[in-house]
């Protein structure tokens, strides 16, 4: 690798400093029509590229002075991004809201890079994990407190304050609650040594040690770009007309992207246990001081996290639509869609994990998972083809099974808990079967 050569490492380090410095400078520059107008379209990608160059240097850097300098810069930038993101979201300014969400996301990447590149003898990673957990707790509790007090009728002379905080929970409060929970989970993953956390961290890292993760993310990004292209093309054609809100439904619910995403679940889950069984490491894992439930849950959580991470480019495309298009749209249904995505994804991943435990052949596990995914999708078209009567028992049963109906309802801003019940039950059922399969193999 080129970064093993000291000359290339120094070039990468300088590029990292320039990209990070220029990106931060864009936040206070008057270009782009307003102060910091170029920060989101150019500064955020610059921060991301600067982080990649910094990590490439740190991976092979042997001089302590350079390591300390780069790690210190990552720590300072992470603090600035997290604090700036929280302030931007709390301010409830439509101008800085998208910027705040992106800052909170990129700031977490900088924290992860800082922790991941710590030497084994250093306890800086542990202390950072504790600080991130406290910060997440402050975001979570602060969002709830602000949302609660904003619902109290304003006292005399406090109309301006009430207008500032009114309706804080949606969407600003939910964003802070979400990132607060993410930071708390990230902190627990660093500071705890629970077996399920350690195994989940190990399994999630194994995705990125192989080209499977990068190929999968690129494939999902390509599918998302295709969906975004059709979506924007429709918006352009309707420039003289009108597309009813929520327009995000037209972005996600499309035939080609939905069919393409069906292939993602088999790719993510096919190797979870079948590869362990084929290479003989499953027997070693079963003799470790952990039970079968811990092994299954750790692989399940790691695969589910990676599945959700693969959807990140889809949401970033919508950010570009808001920044470049300059028009606001109703993005709040995406909150309900994200919840639906978690529950449906849990059912998909648990099912794929079960088939992966039944065979040592990854291809067979992937094919079985794909067949069931096609069945889930087929329930949506079966009601139309068979012309079932709405309200009948078969119609309602297929509606509960169909994940496409769940996504459609959530993107319309209608998400009842009963629609999530089937997918949650399917996840529990397949996880139970997977545990029993491992138990049977342990006693063979």
The pLDDT value given to residue 121: 61
Mean pLDDT computed over 186-208: 85
Q: Kindly report the CA angle at 382 between 379 and 386, in degrees rounded to 5? A: 150
Mean pLDDT computed over 101-114: 89
Mean pLDDT computed over 3-9: 74
Residue 180 neighbours by CB under 8 Å, 6+ apart: 136, 137, 138, 139, 140, 141, 143
The pLDDT value given to residue 161: 46
The pLDDT value given to residue 11: 87
Mean pLDDT computed over 180-199: 88
The pLDDT value given to residue 160: 47
The structure tokens 């529950």 sit at 343
Mean pLDDT computed over 66-71: 90
**Cβ atoms 77, 20 nearer than 8 A:** yes
Mean pLDDT computed over 352-367: 90
The token duo for 228 is 């975004």
d(C-alpha 342, C-alpha 346), whole Å: 6
Q: Kindly report the CA angle at 86 between 84 and 92, in degrees rounded to 5? A: 105
Query: What DSSP letter does each residue of 358-395 carry, written as one string?
Result: H-S-HHHHHHHHHHHHHHHHHHHHHHHHTTPPTTSHHH
Q: Which is higher by pLDDT, 321 or 77?
A: 77
Domain ranges of the chain: 193-444
Query: pLDDT per residue over 17-30, tens digit each?
Result: 999 999 888 877 77
Residue 32 has pLDDT above 70, yes or no: no
The token duo for 326 is 């300059």
Q: Is the Cα dihedral 273, 275, 278, 282 positive or negative?
A: negative
Mean pLDDT computed over 40-68: 86
Q: What does pTM read for this prediction? A: 0.82
Q: Is the Cα dihedral 14, 117, 85, 53 positive or negative?
A: positive
pLDDT-based confidence at residue 158 (cuts at 50, 70, 90): very low
Whole-number average pLDDT of the chain: 82
Q: What percent of the chain has a predicted confidence (pLDDT) above 70?
A: 88
d(C-alpha 175, C-alpha 335), whole Å: 9
The pLDDT value given to residue 76: 93
Q: Which of the listed ranges 127-141, 375-389, 391-405 does the model predict with the highest average pLDDT?
A: 127-141
The pLDDT value given to residue 78: 93
d(C-alpha 38, C-alpha 126), whole Å: 35
Query: pLDDT per residue over 200-213, tens digit each?
Result: 888 888 887 777 77
3-class SS shares of the chain: helix, strand, coil, % to 5: 80, 0, 20
Q: Which is higher by pLDDT, 159 or 271?
A: 271
The pLDDT value given to residue 110: 93
**Segment among 34-38, 316-320, 354-358 with least mean pLDDT:** 34-38
Mean pLDDT computed over 222-227: 85
The token duo for 21 is 């410095």
Mean pLDDT computed over 398-402: 84
pLDDT-based confidence at residue 380 (cuts at 50, 70, 90): confident
Mean pLDDT computed over 361-370: 90
**Segment among 36-40, 176-180, 298-302 with least mean pLDDT:** 36-40
Mean pLDDT computed over 2-17: 80
Output DSSP code: residue 41.
I
Residue 355 has pLDDT above 90, yes or no: yes
């Amino acid at each position: 690798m080129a970064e093993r050569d000291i000359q290339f490492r120094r070039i990468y380090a300088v590029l990292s400093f320039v990209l990070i410095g220029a990106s931060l400078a864009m936040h206070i520059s008057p270009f782009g029509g307003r102060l910091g107008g170029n920060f989101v379209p150019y500064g955020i990608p610059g921060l991301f590229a600067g982080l990649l160059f910094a990590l490439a240097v740190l991976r092979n850097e042997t001089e302590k002075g350079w390591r300390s300098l780069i790690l210190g810069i990552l720590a300072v930038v992470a603090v600035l991004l997290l604090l700036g993101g929280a302030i931007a979201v709390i301010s409830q300014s439509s101008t800085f809201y998208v910027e705040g969400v992106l800052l909170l996301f990129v700031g977490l990447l900088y924290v992860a890079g800082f922790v991941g590149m710590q030497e084994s003898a250093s306890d800086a990673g542990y202390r950072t994990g504790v600080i991130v957990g406290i910060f997440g707790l402050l975001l979570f509790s602060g969002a709830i407190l602000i949302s609660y007090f904003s619902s109290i009728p304003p006292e005399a002379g406090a109309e301006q304050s009430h207008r500032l905080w009114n309706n804080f929970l949606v969407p600003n409060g939910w964003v802070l609650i979400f990132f607060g929970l993410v930071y708390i989970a990230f902190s627990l993953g660093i500071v705890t040594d629970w077996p399920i956390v350690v195994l989940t961290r190990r399994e999630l890292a194994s995705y990125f040690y192989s080209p499977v993760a990068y190929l999968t993310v690129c494939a999902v990004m390509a599918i998302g770009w295709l969906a975004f292209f059709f979506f924007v093309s429709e918006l352009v054609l309707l420039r003289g007309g009108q597309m009813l809100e929520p327009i995000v439904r037209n972005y996600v619910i499309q035939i080609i992207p939905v069919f393409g995403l069906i292939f993602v679940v088999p790719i993510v889950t096919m190797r979870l246990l079948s590869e362990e069984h084929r290479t003989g490491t499953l027997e070693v894992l079963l003799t470790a001081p952990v039970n079968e439930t811990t092994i299954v849950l750790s692989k399940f959580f790691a695969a589910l996290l990676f599945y959700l991470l693969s959807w990140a480019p889809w949401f970033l495309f919508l950010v570009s639509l808001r920044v470049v298009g300059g028009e606001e749209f109703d993005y709040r249904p995406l909150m309900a869609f994200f919840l639906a995505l978690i529950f449906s994804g849990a059912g998909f991943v648990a099912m794929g994990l079960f088939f992966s435990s039944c065979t040592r052949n990854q291809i067979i596990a992937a094919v079985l998972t794909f067949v069931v995914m096609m069945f889930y999708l087929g329930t949506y078209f079966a009601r139309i083809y068979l012309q079932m009567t709405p309200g009948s028992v078969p119609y309602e049963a297929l509606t509960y099974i169909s994940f496409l109906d769940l996504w459609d309802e959530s993107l319309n801003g209608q998400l009842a808990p009963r629609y999530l019940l089937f997918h949650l039950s399917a996840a529990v059922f397949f996880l139970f079967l997977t545990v029993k399969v491992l138990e049977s193999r342990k006693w063979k």
